[in-house]
């Protein structure tokens, strides 16, 4: 069974950086992300519409690679948490965690008895379909699983200290868009209520020896939230990264086109748009 170098780095107080995907789950995605330097790939099930088969395939595609597969499940339920772990996920993120009680249930679902209530299935995807001592496999599974609680509601924010204090919770992750919605200030990321909320999450993580996590849309967001104390950061999401990359190139090309002299038309005249003259009759 593979280990979890990302979790090991976080335990040592180091930072870890990866990326997130919810659209382009192609065969090459894990290798592309690894080639870009990502240490983990966070696969989304909450908003993407993809099912467990797609997630299981993406996890399998990380086999033999250094990049680690993490999964955001659609909701906090045993059948999602346990099944993505059985599929081989090394980290599981649960959305809209609001109480310490919910956090404790999530931890139970991700651990075998007597530490938890996860059902036993060995010789499967999560242990590479291999045999071996079950006691050792259980110990490895517990040591490597990264449990992430998304803090993105006003209730979750109120209880973030208690959530971070739960044994087995490794990360409290800021759901920034949802948090502004639930605070009644949609997308107002400079609003004092939101700023204080961010500070509260980071403080709770530090107080209990956990890590604060965040998805940074671009370099500006990444610099800002790293400075605020977030140390588990997913840089961008696949659709946004693609749009930004294409958009920058298209804007550059249009700028070049707008700054040059108009090329002669095929009949030797200048473009009517650039010259200000009307096109001859019959010419377009």
Strands of 95-243, DSSP E: 146-151, 171-174, 211-216, 232-237
Strands of the chain, DSSP E: 16-21, 40-44, 68-72, 91-94, 146-151, 171-174, 211-216, 232-237
Structure tokens at 154: 């006003």
User: What is the set of active-site residues?
Assistant: 47
The DSSP result for 23-42, as a single string, is S---TTHHHHHHHTT-SEEE
User: Distance between CA 261 and CA 189 in Å, rounded?
Assistant: 43
Structure tokens at 264: 């002669």
- Residue 168: DSSP 8-state: T
| DSSP three-state, residue 197 | helix
Q: Are strands 171-174 and 146-151 parallel, antiparallel or unpaired?
A: parallel
Which residues are CB-contacts of 211 (< 8 A; sequence separation ≥ 6)? 10, 170, 171, 172, 205, 231, 232
CA atoms within 13 A on the CB side of 184: 2
Run of H or E including 179:
helix 176-182
Please, are residues 76 and 156 in contact by the beta-carbon 8 Å criterion?
no
């Amino acid at each position: 069974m593979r280990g979890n170098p990302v979790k090991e780095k976080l335990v040592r107080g180091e930072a870890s950086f990866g990326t997130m995907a919810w659209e382009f789950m192609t065969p090459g995605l894990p290798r592309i992300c690894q080639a870009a330097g990502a240490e983990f790939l966070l696969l989304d099930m909450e908003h993407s519409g993809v099912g467990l088969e797609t997630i299981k395939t993406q996890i399998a595609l990380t086999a033999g690679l250094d990049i680690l597969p993490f999964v955001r499940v659609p909701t906090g339920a045993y059948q999602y948490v346990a099944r993505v772990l059985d599929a081989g996920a090394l980290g599981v993120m649960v959305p809209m965690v609001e109480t310490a009680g919910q956090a404790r249930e999530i931890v139970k679902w991700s651990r075998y008895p007597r530490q938890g209530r996860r059902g036993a299935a060995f010789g499967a995807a999560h242990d590479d379909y291999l045999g071996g001592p079950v006691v050792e496999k259980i110990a490895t599974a517990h040591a490597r699983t990264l449990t992430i609680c998304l803090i993105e509601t006003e209730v979750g924010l109120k209880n973030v200290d208690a959530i971070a204090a739960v044994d087995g919770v490794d990360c409290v992750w800021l759901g920034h868009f949802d948090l502004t919605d639930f605070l009644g200030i949609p997308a107002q990321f400079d609003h004092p209520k939101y700023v204080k909320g961010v500070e509260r999450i980071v403080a709770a993580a530090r107080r209990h020896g956990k890590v604060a996590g965040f998805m940074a849309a671009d370099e500006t967001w990444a610099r800002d939230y790293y400075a605020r104390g977030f140390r588990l950061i997913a840089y961008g999401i696949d659709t946004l990264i693609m749009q930004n990359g294409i958009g920058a190139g298209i804007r550059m090309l249009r700028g070049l086109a707008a700054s040059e002299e108009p090329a002669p038309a095929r009949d030797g005249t200048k473009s009517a748009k650039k010259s200000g003259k009307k096109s001859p009759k019959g010419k377009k």
